[in-house]
């Protein structure tokens, strides 16, 4: 009898396989004294797009999106301070620290303005950046964005699994940290686990992770949480993108965020968790690019207050 095991095997999937045929670069730049690692695609003289990962993440969160976005924008996926291969902090990190880092990065690359798209904590940073530095922001995307609530169960879960993976970065713990992000656990490719395992294995990373997860402590969280009044101050055109299986907050919470932002659009991607840009890249890219290019987004609905956001 002939075995049909080979026929049932899925093709090997890899974040680097997704970059075959993509013209992209990796580099480091001094951003306000922070040696900052980035991935870049697209023409340097095009409009700037900056992609921001979440807590404990790194630029590879957007590796699968570099090709499509590089066709339209000078696209940067960066390692935020304390994350990936960028410089590590000596004290706890709050949202203002990340905002300052992104502004310094924009200055370093010579971008007066940029589109800012952030996932999870990256969306939290994007929203605060749009409030504190409106003159630097074109459009923003809040992708399963954090910062709108203080759910003690979610906060403790993020802190626990992040610290476990950093304290003992064995394969299973790092993989479990990544699987928590996905609705489809099969999307946690081996090279993604290996990449994060190498990052978490850096000397002193346990202390770094403590500084990163400070935002999951109640007192720190309350100093940084976004209120309805905060969201109402956002003037940049905004897309709030949520998912059906986000582990941090419900679709109802995502809709509430959008309902507070003048002129905001809201959409939900089905069958995705906390990384929709990675889990369903074609759908994400289609929605994301339409919004950033100022085109109609059929999947999205106007949810924010009736007054239009400034264009």
| Tokens describing residue 183 | 């609705």
Number of domains in the chain: 1
Separation CA 190–CA 181 (nearest Å): 15
Burial class (CB in 10 A: 0-12, 13-18, 19+), 165: buried
The distance of Cα 28 from the centroid of its chain, to the nearest Å, equals 19
| Tokens describing residue 211 | 């500084």
Q: What is the CATH number of the domain that holds 36?
A: 3.40.50.1820
- Residue 9's pLDDT band (boundaries 50, 70, 90)? low
| Tokens describing residue 260 | 């507070």
In a domain, 78, yes or no: yes
In a domain, 6, yes or no: no
Whether the per-residue pLDDT at 306 is higher than 80: the answer is: no
The distance of Cα 7 from the centroid of its chain, to the nearest Å, equals 36
**pTM flag (> 0.85):** yes
What is the DSSP secondary structure assignment for residue 135, as one 8-state letter?
Answer: G
Token pair 């940029």 in the structure block, residue? 114
Residues whose CB is less than 8 angstroms from the CB of residue 303 and which lie 6 or more positions away in sequence, other chains included: 240, 255, 258, 259, 264, 265, 266
> What domain range is 45 assigned to?
22-149+227-302
- Residue 20's pLDDT band (boundaries 50, 70, 90)? confident
Query: pLDDT (tens digit, 9 = 90+) per residue, 242-253?
Result: 999 999 999 999
* Stated length of the chain: 311
Radius of gyration of the chain, Cα coordinates, nearest whole angstrom: 19
In a domain, 245, yes or no: yes
- Residue 10's pLDDT band (boundaries 50, 70, 90)? low
Query: pLDDT (tens digit, 9 = 90+) per residue, 265-287?
Result: 999 999 999 999 999 999 999 99
In a domain, 17, yes or no: no
Separation CA 218–CA 241 (nearest Å): 26
Q: In what order do the strands lie in the sheet with 74-78?
A: 24-31, 34-41, 74-78, 48-52, 114-119, 137-143, 238-243, 265-269, 301-302
Is residue 40 within 8 A of residue 85, CB to CB? The reply is no
In a domain, 162, yes or no: no
In a domain, 118, yes or no: yes
Q: Residue 241: name the closest of 261, 215, 212 by CA.
A: 261
Q: How far apart are the first and last CA of the chain?
A: 66
Query: pLDDT (tens digit, 9 = 90+) per residue, 285-295?
Result: 999 999 999 99
Distance (Å) of CA 158 to CA 87, 129, 270 = 22, 23, 23
Q: 26 - beta bridge partners?
A: 39
In a domain, 110, yes or no: yes
In a domain, 176, yes or no: no
Query: pLDDT (tens digit, 9 = 90+) per residue, 30-44?
Result: 999 999 999 999 999
Query: pLDDT (tens digit, 9 = 90+) per residue, 152-179?
Result: 999 999 999 999 999 999 999 999 999 9
Query: pLDDT (tens digit, 9 = 90+) per residue, 181-209?
Result: 999 999 999 999 999 999 999 999 999 99
Helix axes 152-167, 190-200, angle to 10 degrees: 80
Percent residues over pLDDT 70 in the chain:
94
């Amino acid at each position: 009898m002939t075995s049909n095991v080979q026929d049932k095997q899925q093709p090997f999937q890899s974040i680097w396989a997704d970059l075959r045929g993509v013209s992209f670069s990796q580099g480091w730049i001094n951003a306000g004294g922070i040696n900052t690692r980035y991935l870049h695609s697209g023409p340097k003289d095009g409009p700037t797009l900056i992609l921001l990962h979440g807590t404990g993440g790194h630029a590879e969160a957007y590796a699968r999106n570099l090709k499509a976005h590089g066709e339209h924008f000078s696209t940067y996926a960066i390692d935020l301070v304390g994350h990936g291969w960028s410089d590590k902090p000596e004290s706890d990190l709050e949202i203002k620290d990340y905002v300052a880092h992104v502004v310094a990065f924009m200055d370093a690359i010579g971008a007066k303005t940029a589109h800012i798209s952030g996932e999870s904590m990256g969306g939290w940073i994007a929203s605060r950046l749009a409030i504190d530095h409106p003159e630097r922001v074109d459009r923003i995307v809040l992708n399963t964005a954090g910062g709108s609530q203080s759910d003690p169960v979610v906060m403790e879960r993020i802190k626990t699994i992040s610290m476990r993976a950093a304290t003992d970065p064995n394969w299973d713990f790092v993989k479990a940290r990544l699987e928590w992000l996905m609705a489809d656990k099969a999307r946690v490719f081996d090279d993604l686990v290996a990449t994060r395992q190498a990052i978490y294995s850096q000397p002193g990373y346990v202390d770094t992770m403590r500084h990163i997860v400070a935002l999951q402590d109640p007192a720190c969280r309350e100093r940084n949480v976004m209120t309805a009044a905060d969201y109402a101050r956002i003037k940049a055109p905004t897309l709030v993108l949520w998912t059906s299986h986000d582990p941090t907050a419900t679709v109802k919470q995502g809709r509430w965020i959008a309902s507070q932002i003048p002129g905001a659009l809201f959409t939900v991607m089905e069958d995705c968790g906390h990384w929709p840009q990675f889990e369903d890249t074609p759908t994400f890219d289609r929605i994301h690019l339409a919004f950033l290019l100022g085109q109609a987004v059929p999947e999205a609905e106007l949810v924010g207050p009736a007054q239009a956001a400034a264009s």
